[in-house]
A = this chain, B = another copy of it.
Amino acid sequence: MNQPFRFELIHQSKKSRARVGRIHTPHGIIDTPNFVGVGTNATLKAIDSQTVNDIGLQLMFCNTYHLMLQPGTETVKKAGGLHTFINRTGPIITDSGGFQVFSLAYGGVKDELKSRGQKKMDNSVLKINEEGVLFRSYRDGQKILLTPETSIAAQKDLGADIIIPFDELPPYHIDEKKLKASLERTHRWEKRSLDAHLASPNNQAMYAVIHGGVDQKMRTESCKYLTSLPFDGFAIGGSLGKTRQEMFDLLAYTMPQLPTDKPNHLLGIGDLASLEYCISQGIDTFDSSHPTRCARHGLLFTFAGTKKILQASNKENFGPIDKECTCMVCQKYTLAYIHHLFKANEMTGYTLATIHNLHFMVQLMKQYRNAILEDRI
């Protein structure tokens, strides 16, 4: 415990950029590639930290934006940091808060694709300038200034093992000139974040966020600039395109420009159809609320495909979700019972579905690691 952050390469596939590794953190090891569960409000939805441990999820993502507003990062600091606050012994990663603030300001790609055009600035975002973003808390109306320096201070209060510099999230539909201006500002913000981090060094690691949208030249520029700074790893962020293929193309030209001796993270992607390709491009960790959100909507993952729990055929199916699955839920409960819990709107159903889907992700990642070790990916 409390050993410094480092990435250990275990095996580089002969077939692709995929690799098996180990990220050593002050709170233990993350075997890679791996899935990162999202616990926005300092808990994964519908389960507690003990259950997360039991499932074997090695890295948990928490959102600085949400924790700044509730309970406030000072409170978490007084608790002794996030690990103590939520009683988690394993590694945690936090983001900068930028993603959420700029989603409020610009809307996400989905909003744009729904032909709503570029969303007007949300009322809660008061000002965006070189210093940072001034916004109003949706909880108590308090004005909050989020800058590289305040984001890093907040993330130091939280005390996650891995932290992320403050960046701008430009909209997908943006002209080249504006994207270039945004990229340059993001670079300045990331440098300021790194400086703020290194000014009071601790055992936290900081991953840069590679930007540039779907513009190959700008992604290249971002890789060049950010890899020249002493970051501990690299996350792929910004707009990842509006289709899966666009994201794949982006990874294909971006990933080879990153050093192989540091870990890589893909921000906000974790849908099953994307994983293998991303892994083959050298992505080590993925965070996504997809498996837990699917669970609460009754979509259960198995190696034979996704099952819809509310389907009538499950009403009297007294077998487990997945006969091969070793999770607590598949040992103890039937499809019929979980179907009933969903029909009766019982929270217990959401909990059981969440445990199963997360256990599936942990097993899936083990399979990917084994496949890489055998050069099958």
Interface presence of A194 (CB below 8 A): no
Interface presence of A188 (CB below 8 A): no
Interface presence of A348 (CB below 8 A): yes
Which A residues from 34 to 64 make CB contacts under 8 A with B?
41-50
Contacts of A339 in B (CB 8 A): 71
Whether B348 contacts A47 by the Cβ 8 Å rule is yes
Whether A318 contacts B79 by the Cβ 8 Å rule is yes
CA distance A328 to B49 in the complex (A): 12
* Contact partner, A87, options B42, B70, B337, Cβ 8 Å: B337
Interface presence of A351 (CB below 8 A): yes
Chain A 2-22, CB-CB to B under 8 Å as 1, else 0, gives 000000000000000000000
Whether B343 contacts A351 by the Cβ 8 Å rule is no
Tell me the minimal C-beta distance from A228 to chain B in angstroms. 39
Whether A336 contacts B87 by the Cβ 8 Å rule is no
Interface presence of A103 (CB below 8 A): no
Given contacts A71-B315, A339-B71, A340-B41, contact A48 B348 (CB under 8 A): yes
Whether B336 contacts A43 by the Cβ 8 Å rule is no
Tell me the minimal C-beta distance from A39 to chain B in angstroms. 9
Interface presence of A85 (CB below 8 A): yes
Interface presence of A290 (CB below 8 A): no
* Contact partner, A348, options B43, B75, B328, Cβ 8 Å: B43
Whether A45 contacts B348 by the Cβ 8 Å rule is yes
Contacts of A343 in B (CB 8 A): 70-71
Given contacts A45-B347, A86-B337, contact A75 B315 (CB under 8 A): yes
* Closest Cβ neighbor of A318 among chain B residues: B79
Given contacts A87-B333, A333-B87, A351-B351, contact A71 B346 (CB under 8 A): no
Contacts of A46 in B (CB 8 A): 347-348, 351
* Closest Cβ neighbor of A337 among chain B residues: B85
Contacts of A346 in B (CB 8 A): 41, 43, 45
Between-chain CB contacts (< 8 Å), 14 pairs: A41-B341, A42-B344, A43-B341, A43-B346, A44-B348, A45-B346, A46-B351, A47-B351, A48-B332, A48-B333, A49-B332, A71-B339, A79-B336, A351-B351
Across the A-B interface, give the 5 residue pairs with the lowest CB-CB distance, nearest first.
Answer: A41-B344, A71-B340, A43-B348, A87-B332, A46-B347
Interface residues of A (CB under 8 A from B): 41-50, 66, 70-71, 75, 78-80, 85-87, 315-316, 318, 328, 332-334, 336-337, 339-341, 343-344, 346-348, 350-352
